[in-house]
């Protein structure tokens, strides 16, 4: 039955449930990272000559973080179930390290977001210019960019129209219609007030 009674037993089961969810979230993060790397839109980038290694490194870090989440969730479940001070202490230490790593990662991500944006823009520029130089060759990276970000070209889509997603034109028309309807509705509601 355990040494705990009343409120402490409730805390034990809450901790057990939390860690089970933490373990499942870690599994989902691993699955997402692996799918995005090998089965999602990023797999098309690897077929080109200039593969974005820094994107892949980020996905591998994501898979590693998911594995760490699973391990921490396992520590928490074991510690709560066995009521072990050693395992619960290890669990607390792991959570403290993860919290510090998240704060550090958030600061670095905020500081380095401009660099990441420039890398993506440079990669797009290279793919765009390669396509304009040799349109017969085609360009998988440009097609992947356009389908992933639902865009087409830089200023105009006329030069790169064959690489644009087919459904993009319909979405633009619907977007224009919906935005105009919403704009008119907002204007009419302000006229009433």
pLDDT tens digit sequence for 36-66 = 778 766 666 655 555 566 667 777 888 888 8
Region 62-82 average pLDDT? 86
More confident site: 159 or 191: 159
Mean pLDDT of the chain: 76
Task: Please choose, from the candidates 162, 157, 158, 118, the residue with its C-alpha nearest in 3D space to the C-alpha of residue 138.
Answer: 162
Does pLDDT of 178 surpass 80? no
Helix (H, G, I), strand (E, B) or coil at 149: helix
pLDDT for residue 138: 62
Q: Is the pTM of this model over 0.85?
A: no
DSSP state letters, 66-129: HHHHHHHHHHHHHHHHHT-HHHHHHHHHHHHHHHHHHHHHHHHHHHHHHHHHHHHHHHHHHHHH
Q: Does the pLDDT value for residue 22 go beyond 60?
A: yes
Q: Which of 34-38, 152-156, 164-168 has the lowest mean pLDDT?
A: 164-168
Q: State yes or no: pLDDT of 193 exceeds 60.
A: no
């Amino acid at each position: 039955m355990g040494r705990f009674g009343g409120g402490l037993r409730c805390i034990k089961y809450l901790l057990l449930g939390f860690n089970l969810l933490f373990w499942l979230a870690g599994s989902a993060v691993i699955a997402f990272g692996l799918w995005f790397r090998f089965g999602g839109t990023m797999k098309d980038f690897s077929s080109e000559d200039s593969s974005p290694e820094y994107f892949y490194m980020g996905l591998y870090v994501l898979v590693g973080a998911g594995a760490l989440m699973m391990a921490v969730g396992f520590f928490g479940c074991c510690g709560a179930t066995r009521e072990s001070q050693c395992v619960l202490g290890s669990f607390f230490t792991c959570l403290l390290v993860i919290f510090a790593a998240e704060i550090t990662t958030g600061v670095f991500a905020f500081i380095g977001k401009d660099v990441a944006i420039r890398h993506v823009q440079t990669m797009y520029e290279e793919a765009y210019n390669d396509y304009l130089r040799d349109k017969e060759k085609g360009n998988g990276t440009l097609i992947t960019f356009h389908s992933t970000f639902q865009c087409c070209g830089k200023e105009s889509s006329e030069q790169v129209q064959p690489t644009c997603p087919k459904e993009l034109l319909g979405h633009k028309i619907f977007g224009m219609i919906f935005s105009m309807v919403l704009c008119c509705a907002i204007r009419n509601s302000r006229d009433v007030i």
